[in-house]
Structure 1
Amino acid sequence: MTQSPAPLPPPKLRRHLREAASLTHDQVAERVGVARETVRAWESGRTTPRGRRREAYAKLLASLTEADMVTNTQEAARPPQVTVCLNNDPHHPETLGIPEAPEVPGGAGAAGTAGSPGTAGNAGNAGNVPGGSGGPGGQGDPEDPGDPGGRPAGTTLTPVQAFDALYAFCAPALVRQAYLLSGRRELARESVERAFQVAWQRWPEVAVDRDPAGWVRATAYEYALSPWHRFRPRYRHPEPPPSDAADRALLDVLLTLPTPYRRTLLLYDGVGLDLPETAAETEASTPATANRLLHAREAVAARLPELASPSALHRRLAEVASAERLRAAEPTTVRAGSEQRARFWTRAAIAFTVAIIGATALTVRTAPTRYEPAVPPGETVRGVPPRSAPGTLSDAELNLRAKLRSGLQHGPQRLIPLAE
């Protein structure tokens, strides 16, 4: 008698159970005995496990289901919470357990459960910020589910505290990612600073966003890849390349890739996003994103054959990003710059409006108040003989002309009065 296969939950529920248990793809793959890409395929529904792998995977999901039910029972009595993702990797959200504030101007802080380490490790940044790792410049493993600033879970954050927590959590990683995109250290810092300035100006919207880290990352990427930087005098000349020859070679290959290919490669093989989420962030279809990724990998492997493996490419991206000493500005400086920029544009808008109002008032003041008819066209004046054109000469006029011509042949003669 054939034994029926172990039942499995739907693909979306599989991913939910893994994220609820704060497990990464690597951790699940290690427990089941498969590769990380296989776990991704199982969660997306592209493939289905069979045999012993199916039994091991089903047993793992069953244990995660029991743990999730216990967690839901314990959290049922807690006050409502607002979840704000703080990790660079939206697959593994690093959140803060904070009850929802009743009314907080400018957006509330983050809430939720402690996250897990991301899919792509980076030892160079593990000690800078708490949370999961996330590709080049990713975060280290979390040790405390509380706030990165040292506040215990369950406390209410003001908008300033929530913004500072998000900045401290994401800025170091984003600076390294922007450096891989642009190849310029100063532009990488400026891109991240400008992205967080925009986020602070629109904080009520960003605070309740499903993925605040992804929102800021997309803004920083757009600024770093803007083609208008080539017209700025400070960015006309290339910066000094990395000192290591291998890092310099990889960075040169990345900068030779087209902008969409470079961004897709960094998001998928660097940050560790899934293909649909990479496509959504790059505003492209999933097949187009897959083609970009394949062509980018082929271009890198053609010049650097040792990076043909995705895992090796991911490791080298993290090493190149961590080799540069890139530090982001302080969150207070970013907030001050954002507020200063907002004041400048507000005053400029007010001045422009006042100029328009003044020009309109001057026009109204100097405009004629009555109708002035136009000058009528000219009319023909009657009673004046028309001017005739010269016609043929008469006989007397012809004789006179002949006499004048004949008398002046020898030059002018002196006139002597004669007596008659």
Structure 2
Amino acid sequence: MTQSPATPLPSPEERRRLREAKSLTQAELAATLGIPHETVRSWESGRVPPEGREGKAYEKLLTTFAATGAPGASERVRRGGRAERSGRAEPLSEPGARAEPGARAEPGPGARPGPRWAEAPRPEDDPRPAHVFDALCAHTAGTLVRQAYLLTGRRRLAQESVERAFQHAWQRWPEVAVDRDPAGWVRAAVHEYAMSPWHRFRPGLRHPDPPPPEPADRALFRVLMDLPPAQRRTLLLYDGVGLDLPETAAETQASTPATAHRLMHAREAVAEALPDLTAPEDLHRRLGELAAAAGLRPPEPEHVRLRGEHRTRVWTRAAIAFTALIIGATSLTLRTAPTRYEAPLSPGKTITGVPAYMGPSPLNGRSRTLHAYLDAQLSTGPGRLTPGLG
């Protein structure tokens, strides 16, 4: 089947959907067409239209995708897709994680591709949001718990971070459902919550958990915990999850040169303490083994969703009660407040010139004469009240 020149290209969303229906990453598609990874990303985002010879090859490939079935597992491994290492599933890469071609070792013999988010029902195809959310949680929660453990060194905080991130995603599900990478959206939320500096003030999270019992795991665990948080996260995203440098920089909200310097210093610190982990493939494998040794269980999707809804109801009722309290206090203030101006009382003033209070004093001569004269007069009867003539 060939596409006529008059047939328009599919929309950017349809291009991405066709690629994901074939279980291909952007890097794998770019390697098939022989073009840079960023070119495919710009075509699928709609920033740049496919043009030239590469655009025609891309258009023809999309037409083939629309008419044929999905390729087999062996064909995807030959294209350089990220599969299992050493015959077991990667414990740190989310389903559908992207990788730069040539930046990692080739999959070992007998490797099979892990599950991808594209295999779950897409939000626009399934009218039941709860089922799509549960599928996303079931496919990515396990790897996210292990990543959070390597970031924090605390099992309790790792499980709490994943649960809170998925609850936040469920609260904002209309936004997350249409995101081009829902798993990446949740992963960024998990890492941000897990690396929040406020956790150090919580009594139960001030110190990391005891290191693993195995000597090799204990040495790598201590090296990771000694790294600065920014370098630890960069090393985990690049060498653990498998993101390329621009994607790691975008997720850590840093420039590409700064991300490269963080990655270089983190690798130097690991290589100095553990010389056998100089190769990125060995470091990737050991990070996966260290995370798997923690034995963390991911939360159940239904439990996360129901508990998130319960938290939302509690906070909504608390906000309504607080708002009602403010309205009541405002109404009471308006009810009791004066409606006219009342002049304030003037402050008191000090009065001077008033003699001090004194007790009885001795009689002087004039007072004694008056006192004797009064005693000699009539003291009773009407004559005392009648004025005399002389």
User: Which range moves more in the overlay, 198-207 or 65-74?
Assistant: 65-74
Q: Is the contact between residue 234 and residue 263 of structure 2 (CA under 8 Å) also seen in structure 1?
A: yes
Counterpart selection for 2:340 from 370, 373, 381: 370
- Residue aligning to 1:68: 62
Q: Is the contact between residue 120 and residue 272 of structure 1 (CA under 8 Å) also seen in structure 2?
A: no
Which digits, 9 at most, give the CA deviation of each residue in 1:202-257, with x for residues without a partner? Answer: 11111111211111001100111112222222223432221211111111111110
Q: Is the contact between residue 95 and residue 140 of structure 2 (CA under 8 Å) also seen in structure 1?
A: no
Which digits, 9 at most, give the CA deviation of each residue in 1:323-378, with x for residues without a partner? Answer: 22111111111011101110111011011111111111111121112221122456
User: 2: CA distance between counterparts of 1:157 and 1:215?
Assistant: 21
Q: Is the contact between residue 145 and residue 153 of structure 1 (CA under 8 Å) also seen in structure 2?
A: no
Q: Is the contact between residue 166 and residue 186 of structure 2 (CA under 8 Å) also seen in structure 1?
A: yes
Q: Which amino acid counterpart does residue 141 of structure 1 have in structure 2?
A: P
- Residue aligning to 2:7: none
User: 2: CA distance between counterparts of 1:153 and 1:356?
Assistant: 40
Counterpart selection for 2:82 from 88, 111, 118: 118
Q: Is the contact between residue 121 and residue 133 of structure 1 (CA under 8 Å) also seen in structure 2?
A: no
- Residue aligning to 2:183: 213
Alignment map for 1:5-24 (pairs within 5 Å): 22-23=23-24
Alignment map for 1:20-419 (pairs within 5 Å): 22-23=23-24, 42-44=36-38, 66-72=60-66, 118=82, 121=85, 125=89, 131-132=95-96, 141-142=113-114, 148=120, 156-376=126-346
TM-score by length of 2: 0.67
Deviation at 1:280, TM superposition (A): 0.7
Given the superposition, is the C-alpha separation of residues 370 and 299 from structure 1 closer, same or farther in structure 2, using an over 3 Å criterion? same
Q: Which amino acid counterpart does residue 194 of structure 1 have in structure 2?
A: R
Given the superposition, is the C-alpha separation of residues 200 and 186 from structure 1 closer, same or farther in structure 2, using an over 3 Å criterion? same
Q: Which amino acid counterpart does residue 315 of structure 1 have in structure 2?
A: R
Q: Is the contact between residue 120 and residue 134 of structure 1 (CA under 8 Å) also seen in structure 2?
A: no
Percent of pairs identical after alignment?
A: 55
By relative contact order (CA 8 Å, sep 6+), the higher-ranking structure is 2
User: 2: CA distance between counterparts of 1:147 and 1:24?
Assistant: 13
- Residue aligning to 1:391: none
User: 2: CA distance between counterparts of 1:157 and 1:147?
Assistant: 16
User: 2: CA distance between counterparts of 1:129 and 1:265?
Assistant: 13
> What is the SS of the residue equivalent to 1:253?
helix
Task: Name stretches of at least 5 consecutive residues in structure 2 with no aligned partner.
Answer: 1-14, 40-53, 70-75, 100-110, 357-390
User: 1: CA distance between counterparts of 2:193 and 2:309?
Assistant: 19
Q: Is the contact between residue 162 and residue 190 of structure 2 (CA under 8 Å) also seen in structure 1?
A: yes
Q: Is the contact between residue 191 and residue 223 of structure 1 (CA under 8 Å) also seen in structure 2?
A: yes
- Residue aligning to 2:364: none
Q: Is the contact between residue 126 and residue 132 of structure 2 (CA under 8 Å) also seen in structure 1?
A: no
User: 2: CA distance between counterparts of 1:122 and 1:218?
Assistant: 28
User: 2: CA distance between counterparts of 1:145 and 1:200?
Assistant: 17
Given the superposition, is the C-alpha separation of residues 351 and 385 from structure 1 closer, same or farther in structure 2, using an over 3 Å criterion? closer
Q: Is the contact between residue 21 and residue 68 of structure 1 (CA under 8 Å) also seen in structure 2?
A: no
Given the superposition, is the C-alpha separation of residues 28 and 311 from structure 1 closer, same or farther in structure 2, using an over 3 Å criterion? farther
Q: Which amino acid counterpart does residue 291 of structure 2 have in structure 1?
A: A
Which digits, 9 at most, give the CA deviation of each residue in 1:271-292, with x for residues without a partner? Answer: 1111111111101111111111
User: 1: CA distance between counterparts of 2:55 and 2:268?
Assistant: 36
User: 2: CA distance between counterparts of 1:122 and 1:193?
Assistant: 30
How many pairs were matched up?
308
User: 2: CA distance between counterparts of 1:167 and 1:22?
Assistant: 19
> What is the SS of the residue equivalent to 2:343?
coil
> What is the SS of the residue equivalent to 2:315?
helix
